[in-house]
Amino acid sequence: MEGRKKVMIIGSGLAGMSAGYYLQCNGFDTEIFELHSSSGGLCTSWKRKNYLIDGCIHFLTGTSPKENTYQFWNDLLDMSSVDFIYQDTHAVVEDESGKRVSLFSNVDKLTNELLAIAPEDKKQILFLVKGIKKFTGMKMPVDKPYELMTLGNKLKVAYQMLPYLYSLRRLMMISNAGFVSRLKNPRLRYAFSTAFIGEFPLFYTVMQMVWRHNKSTGYPKGGASYISGLIENKYRNAGGVIHFNSRVSKILVTDNTAMGIELENGDKHYADLIISAADGYSTIYSLLEGRYKDRHIIERYESGVFKTIDKTLYVSIGVNADFSGQPHKLYIPLAKSIHIDPLTELNLLDITHYCDDIHAAPEGKSLLTLMPQANDWEYWHKLRIDDRTRYDEEKNRIAMDIIEALENRFGNIRNNVEMIDVVTPATYIRYTNNWTGGQISWSTTRNTFGKPTAWQIKGLSNFYMTGQWAGISGGLNSVVMMGNHLTQIICKKEGIAFKRK
């Protein structure tokens, strides 16, 4: 390659910064254009009074060197410098009578808990536990993107995965809801149907428990902005440039070749390659004006095969009370449902506290967050535009109803609330341009498992996509890995020997 090729990247989320970093390491000059005033995209935190609200990370997978995805994190930040919290439970589910099911991280403790509660479900419990134990030693072959694997690579992967294929197939063929339907004990049925998404394959539930057991998924003290800030520093130190408050309005195309970008203010910037690490729908239908769609794009956005994940609110409450004695994530049923929007009634609360992180709340106080479903994202988006006063009133009403429910269950809440913050789908659209106002892109189903990544669009040269919309699901470890994989693909095309750092 003669000289250093110029690459423009749209979006400074983790996918964009990951791609930018690896490209810088391999001889490219990159510039990232970000619509917001800070990096991280959805991986962000914000301050409200003395409370630090993490708007993204519930757990970060790949925190142990035993996991193959650890290498991508460690390339982008010094993992030894991050203090991770490993919880004793994935979650605790409380029923209407106050009885709890603890979904322990340790598989032996989990087994004992489930068998003690539901001996009549021994067969299904041992089936689940066998699946967890089966995959505790599995290392996903993620060093290379599938597109660059030789026949030898594929045969090696097949050999590595052979011991797991039968179990993987069985667990992929059963949804969480299907597994629940096999259970006899009502407490166990309620716990699993509450803590895990029904349409997701059971394999993904098993893998969450595997990562918990292996202590390879934890929460980083300091939260999302701390992690994205470390990655931004690594990218900048590698020579990368970020332009903030720079919304891209159009991808410039000549003779079916991407040539540059045009900003909202009319400025035009030209480059050899263009990468969108931004919202996929906006990229295809706005920045490219819907002119370029191959079968993979149509399958994602127009066929119904890919479905966007359920939308939520994100409610944060700072209280002058100590919740450290409660499980870090607790589900409790509501005696009275809470109206969220025209398509959503809330019947339970999922409460997460951050008492283990000194950055989240002042000593002796607690930050509580909840994520009620908000299925009518268009209602929230339109309401904010049409009637800002009512929009704010609705947010406040929901927060007050939640506080009342917390008061009824725990006491000592209402008069000790110091901070309230409510994020809606309209907020996500405003700050990140995320298509339907959700935190995550595609819902993981059997129909999308194994689908190819939409790195490029047939018929459009010098253009690439990366991030959760280009893949088959979201997840931070997936998008940082995709930055590595995309750079390998570009290097191969340019005749460059790929370097990790």
Contacts of 112 (CB under 8 A, 6+ apart): none
Residue tagged 């800070």 (tokens):
38
Tell me the backbone φ, ψ of residue 314, rounded to 5 degrees.
Answer: -135, 100
Would you state the pLDDT for residue 354? Answer: 97
pLDDT in tens, 333-348: 999 999 999 999 999 9
User: Of 465, 381, 391, 392, nearest to 431 (Cα)?
Assistant: 381
Selected residue with higher pLDDT from 265 and 439 = 265
Residue 12 has pLDDT above 60, yes or no: yes
Would you state the pLDDT for residue 197? Answer: 85
> Could you tell me if 106 and 52 are in contact, meaning their C-beta atoms sit under 8 angstroms apart?
no
Residue tagged 């959700």 (tokens):
438
Q: In whole angstroms, what separates CA 304 from the centre of its chain?
A: 21
Mean pLDDT of the chain: 95
235-243 mean pLDDT = 98
Give CA–CA dist 253/39, Å, rounded: 27
Give CA–CA dist 19/278, Å, rounded: 12
Q: In whole angstroms, what separates CA 214 from the centre of its chain?
A: 20
Neighbours of 108 (CB within 10 A): 11
Q: How is the beta sheet containing 217-220 ordered, strand by strand? A: 60-61, 217-220, 84-85
Partners of 241 in the beta sheet?
A: 31
Give CA–CA dist 336/325, Å, rounded: 25
Give CA–CA dist 162/149, Å, rounded: 17
Would you state the pLDDT for residue 198? Answer: 81
Q: Which two tokens stand for residue 322?
A: 């100590």
Would you state the pLDDT for residue 449? Answer: 79
User: Of 52, 109, 160, nearest to 421 (Cα)?
Assistant: 52
Q: Which two tokens stand for residue 99?
A: 């009885």
CA distances from 7 to 22, 211, 261, 308, 411 (A): 12, 36, 11, 29, 56
22-29 mean pLDDT = 98
Nearest 5°: the CA angle 315, 321, 322 is 100
Tell me the backbone φ, ψ of residue 346, rounded to 5 degrees.
Answer: -95, 125
Q: Which two tokens stand for residue 180?
A: 């629940």
Would you state the pLDDT for residue 277? Answer: 97
202-229 mean pLDDT = 96
58-70 mean pLDDT = 92
- CA dihedral (321, 327, 331, 333) in degrees, to 10, reads -60
User: Of 257, 261, 278, nearest to 270 (Cα)?
Assistant: 261
Would you state the pLDDT for residue 174? Answer: 94
pLDDT in tens, 475-488: 899 999 999 999 99
Tell me the backbone φ, ψ of residue 101, rounded to 5 degrees.
Answer: -120, 120
200-214 mean pLDDT = 94
Residue 1 has pLDDT above 60, yes or no: no
**pTM of the entire predicted model:** 0.94
- CA dihedral (141, 144, 146, 151) in degrees, to 10, reads -90
Count Cβ atoms within 10 A of the Cβ of residue 83 and give its class: 0-12 exposed, 13-18 middle, 19 or more buried: exposed
What confidence tier does 2 reach under pLDDT thresholds 50, 70, 90?
Answer: low
User: Of 18, 148, 63, nearest to 500 (Cα)?
Assistant: 18
pLDDT in tens, 382-419: 999 999 999 999 999 999 999 999 999 999 899 999 99
Nearest 5°: the CA angle 492, 493, 498 is 25
H or E element in which residue 417 lies: strand 417-423
Query: Strands, E, within 247-396: which ranges?
Result: 248-254, 257-263, 268-270, 273-276, 314-319, 329-341, 344-353, 366-370
pLDDT in tens, 133-176: 999 999 888 999 999 999 999 899 888 999 999 999 999 999 99
Neighbours of 56 (CB within 10 A): 22
User: Of 499, 495, 501, nearest to 2 (Cα)?
Assistant: 495
pLDDT in tens, 256-313: 999 999 999 999 999 999 999 999 999 999 999 999 999 999 999 999 889 888 899 9
pLDDT in tens, 31-56: 999 999 999 999 999 999 999 999 99
Would you state the pLDDT for residue 46? Answer: 96
Q: Given its phi and psi angles, is residue 467 left (phi above 0), alpha (psi -120 to 50 degrees) or beta? A: left
What confidence tier does 255 reach under pLDDT thresholds 50, 70, 90?
Answer: very high
Q: In whole angstroms, what separates CA 330 from the centre of its chain?
A: 20
Give CA–CA dist 398/370, Å, rounded: 11
71-97 mean pLDDT = 96
Residue 221 has pLDDT above 70, yes or no: yes
CB crowding 168-187: b at 16 or more within 10 Å, else e: beebbebbbeebbeebebeb
